[in-house]
Amino acid sequence: MLSFFMTIRLEYLKWLQSLKISLSKNLNYKINFLLMMVIPVLVYFAIKYNLWSSIYATNSAESIKGYTLSQMIEYQFWILIFELFVRSHFFSRNISEDIRLGRISVFLLYPFGFFNYQLSLFFSDKLIQFFIGIFSFFVVVTFGWIDIPSVGILFRAGVFIFMVSAFWFFAQLLVGFMAFWLEETWSINISIRFISAFLSGFIVPLDMYPEIISKILLWTPFPYLIYIPVRILMGESIDVVFSLFILFIWILILFVCIQLVWRKGLKLYTGAGI
């Protein structure tokens, strides 16, 4: 029994130390952190608000595809808030560099596993993003661009934040592990983000697309990364169980792919550059 508690304590200390190191790195530049708090709302307002105001004014339309200007602005600002909570930095670039330069050899020898270490880095990043998201949420609410949803809606949105964050974590790992075969994975990451922006509803709501495309997309992970959670936050009726089920299936697929790629990649790994 004593050895069990000692093992738990050691694991806790490993996680705690890894989180502290990652947080100290991310918060090392105070001005950069302050800019991360303020810039998203300012830039979003300058681009999105003025862009859509100009589109509606140019077309002299009260609504476009069923969206009034106020509804479109609300949709765009909910995207901002949700993205801030689920956004993950391109840590796959660090993974690919570790593999390419042979630095993962050290992680393979550490008593704290490679996956646990990456997950601790991810948690520290999420902690910072949480505070940025909360700050931006209250700023946007203060200016009246969105309303505070009910507790039930916030709970459902919280579940999606957790699931979407997990999806991006596994997706980043998978892209990073491509470095076992590729010299550079940066272009893959950018391509995924670019495709996701168009198919997840980040640019425009998916119900503005042709109906056949919208129906096909419902079987992909993309609508559940932004469009569906934002519609939930706007108070619209959504089949949450079905949405979470589809997203869970894709997360499971990513997890299985990661295990396969990691095992095959290690067989090719030579530790060059140590």
State pLDDT tens for residues 215-263. Answer: 899 999 999 999 999 999 998 888 899 999 999 999 999 999 999 998 8
Q: Containing domain of residue 184, as a range? A: 2-268
Cα–Cα distance, 97 to 255 (Å, whole number): 21
Residue 274 lies in a domain: no
pLDDT of residue 52: 83
pLDDT of residue 124: 79
Could you report the average pLDDT of every consecutive run of 10 residues in the chain (274 residues)? Answer: 63 68 67 66 76 81 80 88 80 74 75 76 81 85 85 92 92 87 80 88 88 90 94 89 95 94 84 56
pLDDT of residue 44: 75
Cα–Cα distance, 208 to 274 (Å, whole number): 52
pLDDT of residue 2: 57
Residue 95 lies in a domain: yes
Residue 273 lies in a domain: no
Residue 193 lies in a domain: yes
Residue 20 lies in a domain: yes
Cα–Cα distance, 264 to 180 (Å, whole number): 9
Q: What is the number of domains present in the chain?
A: 1
pLDDT of residue 123: 81
Residue 133 lies in a domain: yes
Residue 141 lies in a domain: yes
Q: Are 145 and 73 in contact (CB under 8 A)?
A: yes
Q: Are 265 and 99 in contact (CB under 8 A)?
A: yes
Average pLDDT over the chain, rounded to whole? 82
Residue 152 lies in a domain: yes
